[in-house]
Chain A
Amino acid sequence: MDQKESVRDITPWDGTLSSSDFFSAACAFSEKWKRFNASVPPWLWVPSRKHHLLSSHKEEGYLSLEGMCLIKSSEEQESCRSQTWKEESSISQEEEAVENATLVQSSCDEVNHYDFHIVYSPSYRVPVLYFRSYHSDGQPLPFGEIEKDLPDHSAKIRSESKWTFITQEEHPYLNRPWYKLHPCGTSEWMKLLFLGDTALNKNGFVIEHYLVSWFSVIGQVVGLKIPLGMLETVSC
C-alpha cells in the first residue's frame, strides 16, 4: 500500500471528502484506470482555467474523459442491444476495415459521442459526474435520445433511488449546459457503501480509494463499467 495514503476511521465519517482529498483520489483513480483499462482512453486531469498560467493550486480542476463513442448494434430487438464504447480515434480506423461486422454499416450518424467530466462540488463535498452527448456533426443530443443510449438498468437505478437523478445544469467551469447526476444523495450512499465493507470497518479506509468506489456505482448509471481488477484494489 502506498505509504502516502492515510488510513481513516470509518465511524465518524459522513461520506464526503475535501477538495484536496478529491485531487488525491482523482490521481489514484486515473492511474488505476490506465493500469486496468488500457484499451480505453485515460481520464485526464484538467486544471481549472484560471489557473492555467500558474502552477500553484493546480489541485483545482476536474477529471475528463472525452470522445467516447457509443456504438449501437443493429439488433432488431431493443433488449438485445449491446452497448459498446469505443474511442473516437479508433472508429475512423475501423471504418476502413470493411469486414468489421460489429460496426453498423451506415456512416457516423449512428454514433453518439459522449464526454464525461468528474467535477468536485464544494457545496456537497462530493464528486459529481457531468456528461454531454452529441452527434458526429456536433449537434447536441436531446435528452430523449440520451435516455435510449443509457443501459436498461440505469432507468431502474434512477427510479428506485431518490438520490440518483439526472438534471441539466451549467458546467461549473465551461459556461455551457451539461447533464449531471445530482449530488444531493452521494454522501449518504457512499457512507453506506463503505459501511457495508467489513474490512473497511475494521481497518479503516483510505480516502484515495473514494473515486474508485464512487465510480463503481455512478458508472452504472451511464453504462461505463469499472474493471473488476480495479475494484479489487480498494478492498483489503
Chain B
Amino acid sequence: MSGAATVSSSEAHKLVWEGSVPLLIHLHDSEVTTLPPPPPALVLAPRLGYLPLLISQLKPYFSTTLPPGVDTLWFEYRGLPLKWYIPTGVLFDLLCVEPERPWNLTVHFRGYPSNLLLPCEGEDSVKWSFINSLKEAAYVTKGNCKNVMNMSQSDQVELWRSVLNGNLESYQRVSSKLKLGTFEDEYTENISAVSTASQQNSGEADAAAQVKSGRIPVRLYVWTVTEDFDDLESAPQIDNWDKISYINRPVEIQKEDGKYFSLNDAIKSLLPEYFPGSSFDNLGDASTKQSVGDEGENTCDPDSSSLPLENAEIKLVRIQGIEPCLEIPFSWVVNNLMNPEYFLHICVCLKVSEANALQ
C-alpha cells in the first residue's frame, strides 16, 4: 500500500477495515491432554479487532484436549503475554518487526497471569475497553464525552456490532452521529487525493495548511535501538513490555501559515525529550516552565539544569501495517488511518545513543 499516489478517503477506509493478520495459533503444551496434540488453528484476524474476540473461532479446535477448568483466554508471542486491549493490527506491527505471515501465537485457556494482564471476561470486557477509549477520544477532541454518553442503546449496540463484524458501512452510519472527525469540515476528496510523493506544489501545501487548532487522540508505541539495522530481521526482539514506551497523549495541532503539519511533526511533538529542536512542543504552557521551590528538602528535586539531548533518529513508523512517508500531512493520516475508537495508533522505532535507550 505504500507508494499509493492517489487513494481516496473511502478507498483508504475500506482498505483499513478489510486489513487482517493471518494467525497460526498453537495451544500451549501444558494444556494439551491428548495425543496426538491438536494442530494449530489458522485464523484471519481483523486488524481493527481484538484477540479475545477470536475465542468462538478457537474453542472448537481445542475444546476436546483442554484440561478441566474454566476458560480464561490469553495469548503470548515468544513468551510475551499480549495485552488484549491493544488492537490486533497494532500488536502485529509492534511486536513482529519483520512481518511473519502467518503470525505464530500461543494461546492459553488456563492460568491467566493476572499479576501482569488486566482481567478479561470475554466480549464484555473488550467492549467496555473500546467504549472507554471512545469516550477518551471524544474528551480529547471535544472536551467532554456527552456525545458518547448520550448515544441511544441501539446505536451503541450497532456501533459495537459493526466493529465486531468489520462492517464499515454500518459503522459509518452510527459513528457519523458522534461528529468526532476533527478535519471533517476542512478536508474533502481533493485533499485526500494529494500525492504522497515528496514533491508537492505550493498549491497543495496551502490547502493542507487550512487546519484548525485542536487535539488529536494518539497512542504512540515507541521502542529504541542503539544501532542501525540493515534489514528488519536483525532488529532486536521485543521480549518485555518495559522495552516499549507507551505514550497516550494527544497531538496538539498548531495552525501555522504557509506550513502544513506533517506526520513527522506530529511524532516529534510527542517526543520532545528526543527532539528538543522541534518547533511544536506539546508539554504544556510555556509560561509555567519555571523552577518551582528551592528548599533543600523538596521532594520534587529543584535541579532544573537540563542537559540537551542529542537528536534521535526515527528509523521506522508503522500505522495500520503501512510505513507512510513522514512528510504526509498529518491530517490525512488521521482521517484515513484511525481506528474505530477514534484513536490513531502509531508504532515508532527510534535510534538513540546507548545512554538514552529504553532498558
Contacts and interface: CB of A to CB of B under 8 A. Distances in A.
Interface string B112-143: 00111111000000000000100110011001
Contacts of A53: 355-356
Contacts of B117: 177
B34 interface: no
B358 A124 contact: no
B141 to A, nearest CB: 10
B285 A18 contact: yes
Given A6-B287, A54-B309, A27 B249 contact: no
B40 interface: no
Contact of B299 (A42, A49, A56, A172): A42
Contacts, number: 115
Contacts of A18: 284-285, 288
B299 A30 contact: yes
B273 A56 contact: yes
Interface in A192-211: 207-208
Interface in A1-57: 4, 6, 14, 18-21, 23-24, 26-28, 30-31, 34, 42-45, 49-51, 53-57
A108 B118 CA distance: 27
A59 interface: yes
B303 A55 contact: yes
Secondary structure type dominating chain B contacts: loop
Contacts of A59: 283
B293 A31 contact: yes
Nearest to A44: B299
A42 B295 CA distance: 15
A31 B305 contact: no
A172 B273 CA distance: 18
B120 to A, nearest CB: 11
B223 to A, nearest CB: 11
B63 interface: no
B288 A20 contact: yes
Interface residues of B, number: 50
A19 B284 CA distance: 6
A21 B284 contact: yes
Given A14-B143, A175-B242, A123 B119 contact: no
**A: contact size bracket:** 35 or more
Given A24-B292, A31-B299, A177 B118 contact: yes
B356 A140 contact: no
Interface string B96-125: 000000000000000000111111000000
Contact of A175 (B241, B249, B300): B241
A28 B358 CA distance: 30
B357 to A, nearest CB: 9
Given A34-B299, A56-B307, A169 B284 contact: no
Nearest to A61: B300
A51 B359 CA distance: 11
Contacts of B355: 53
B175 to A, nearest CB: 19
Given A31-B295, A54-B306, A175-B116, 7 more contacts: A18-B288, A19-B284, A55-B307, A57-B273, A57-B306, A122-B250, A123-B139
Interface of B: 83, 85, 114-119, 132, 135-136, 139-140, 143, 145, 217, 241-242, 245-246, 248-250, 272-273, 276, 283-285, 287-290, 292-293, 295, 297-301, 303, 305-309, 355-356, 358
Interface of A: 4, 6, 14, 18-21, 23-24, 26-28, 30-31, 34, 42-45, 49-51, 53-60, 122-124, 140, 167-170, 172, 175-177, 184, 207-208
7 contacts: A6-B287, A20-B283, A21-B284, A31-B299, A50-B245, A53-B355, A184-B139
